[in-house]
Amino acid sequence: MQNVEEKSPSRGGLRERKKQATRAALVEAAVRLAAEHGAENVTVEAISDAAGVSPRTFFNYFDARDDVFVMIGAESSARVRRAVLDSPPELSPLEALRDAMAAELSEVEQQHQLWTLHASVLRESPRLLVRALSIHTDDESALAAALADRIAAESPSCSGERPALPAPEQECPRQSAGLYPHLLAAVGLTAVRVAFEHWCVGKDRTPFPDVFQETFEHLAAGLAAPAGDRAGH
């Protein structure tokens, strides 16, 4: 999940869904070509041709060629933040984050091969890996800000109204630099990565949603050591 709101169409009508489909087709084409030929040897023209669009259309979605290799799942970041802000007040911040992420990851099993190829492309290109890590850092900061806004909105001193997204100015004080929201965002995103990596190498083929839920159960329990044979799960 990456933070690329500027060029990410939101979920909505037919036009927005078509844009999402085109972006997804470009990303998939780029990742598959890069896995086969190496990212450095893949051109915008080749990516566009494989996705069935023109190079001009490519630049309606991405500012530069390298962007397409690091933006798999790009649209999900803003939706996760919106879901965190809109989550029921009775949920804890961790539960709100868990549910928001779970909704975005519901189709991850269908994209197993693509995500695996994407990981291999990044491993083979240090330059792209650095770029992806930079995007991840921005994504983490934005998520921390959304969590801080949710916590502030639920505080007794605030009106209780949920902030809009994005929200540069709020009557309730933003806590984006606060330790807890930042830690929660970092832990949540790391939990997703660990759950996915565990699922990819797992021999019992436990469904990914089950691995994801177990990961967050460990977090909710304060990472207490599991008993018995659950230690290897």
Q: Rounded mean pLDDT of the chain? A: 81
Instruction: For residue 77, give the nearest of 36, 40, 58, 105 by alpha carbon.
Output: 105
Segment among 18-27, 69-78, 133-142, 186-195 with least mean pLDDT: 69-78
- Separation CA 186–CA 180 (nearest Å): 10
- Tens of pLDDT, residue by residue over 2-26, are 443 334 444 457 888 888 889 989 9
What's the average model confidence in pLDDT over 93-115?
84
Three-state secondary structure call for residue 24: helix
pLDDT in tens, 122-178: 889 989 989 888 888 888 999 999 999 999 887 655 544 545 544 433 434 444 448
| Four-residue CA torsion sign, 130, 136, 140, 146 | positive
pTM confidence score: 0.72
Please report the domains of the chain, with CATH numbers, ordered by start residue.
5-232 (1.10.357.10)
Query: Cα torsion at 81, 82, 88, 94 (round to 10°)?
Result: -10
Going by pLDDT thresholds of 50, 70 and 90, the confidence category of residue 76 is confident
Write the pLDDT tens digit of every residue in 30-56.
Answer: 999 999 999 999 999 999 999 999 999
